[in-house]
Structure 1
Amino acid sequence: MPLFLQPVFKERIWGGRALETFNYNIPNDYTGECWAISAHPNAPNTIENGKYKGKSLETVWAQDKALFGVDSDKNFPLLTKILDANDKLSVQVHPNDNYALQHEGEFGKTECWYILDAKEDAEIIYGVKAQDQKELNHMIDHKQFDSLFNKVKVKAGDFFYVPAGTVHAIGEGILILETQQSSDTTYRIYDYERKDKNGEQRELHLEQSKAVINLSSQSSNSTPKHETIQEQSYTQFVSNEFFTVERWIIEGKLNYDMQQSYCLVSVVEGSGKIETDHNTYELNKGTHFILTTEDQDVVFDGEMTLIISYV
Structure 2
Amino acid sequence: MSAPSVPIRLPANQPAQFYRGGAAIAALRSASSGATVRAEEFGPEDWVASTTTLFGREPEGLTRLPDGRWLREAVEADPLGWLGRDHVERFGSSTALLVKLLDAGQRLPVHFHPDDEFARRHFDSHFGKTEAWIVVGTRGENPTVYAGFRESLDARTIADWVADQDAPTMLGALNAVAVEAGDTVHIPAGLPHAIGEGVFVVELQQPTDFSLTLEWRDFLGEESKGHLGLGFDTALKALDTSAWDEQRLSGLIRRTAGKGTATVDLLAPDSRPFFRADRLRPTAPLALDPSFAVLVVSEGRGRLTAESGDVHEVSTGDTWVVPHAAGEFQLDGDVTVIRCRPPAPRP
Answer 1 or 2: higher relative contact order, Cα 8 Å, separation at least 6: 2
- Looking at structure 1, the residues matched to 95 and 243 of structure 2 have their Cα atoms a distance apart, in angstroms, of 26
* 1:156–1:278 CA distance, 2 compared to 1 (3 A): same
Length-normalised TM-score, structure 2? 0.77
**CA-based RMSD:** 2.6
Q: How does 1:78-157 map to 2 (within 5 A)?
A: 78-106=97-125, 107-119=127-139, 120-134=141-155, 136-137=158-159, 140=162, 143=166, 144-157=169-182
Secondary structure, counterpart of 1:266 in structure 2: strand
Between 1:156-165 and 1:22-31, the stretch displaced more is: 22-31
Given the alignment, which residue of 281, 284, 297 partners 2:312?
A: 281
Q: Retained in 1: the 8 A contact 2:152–2:242?
A: no
Q: Which has the higher strand share?
A: 1
- SS of alignment partner, residue 253 of structure 1: coil
In structure 2, distance between residues paired with 1:16 and 1:132: 35
Q: 1:127 touches 1:149 (CA, 8 Å); kept in 2?
A: yes
Would you say how many aligned residue pairs link Structure 1 and Structure 2?
299
User: Please, which of 12, 34, 43 is the counterpart of residue 31 of structure 1?
Assistant: 43
Q: 1:61 aligns with which of 59, 75, 91?
A: 75
User: 1:204 is paired with a residue of what secondary structure?
Assistant: helix
- Structure 1 spans left out of the alignment, 5+ residues: none
Q: 2:65 aligns with which of 47, 55, 60?
A: 47
Please, which runs of 5 or more residues in structure 2 have no aligned partner? 1-5, 31-35, 54-59
- Residue of 13, 18, 24 corresponding to 2:24: 18
Give the stretch that moved more between structures: 211-220 or 237-246.
211-220
Report the secondary structure of 1:98's partner residue. Answer: helix
1:163-174 superposed matches below 5 A: 163-174=188-199
Q: Residue 267 of structure 1 corresponds to which residue in structure 2?
A: 297
Cα offset, 1:104, TM superposition:
1.7
Alpha-carbon spacing, 1:195–1:39, altered in 2? closer, same or farther (3 Å) = closer
Identity %: 23
Query: Aligned to 2:197, what secondary structure does the other structure show?
Result: coil
Q: Secondary structure at the match of 1:190?
A: coil
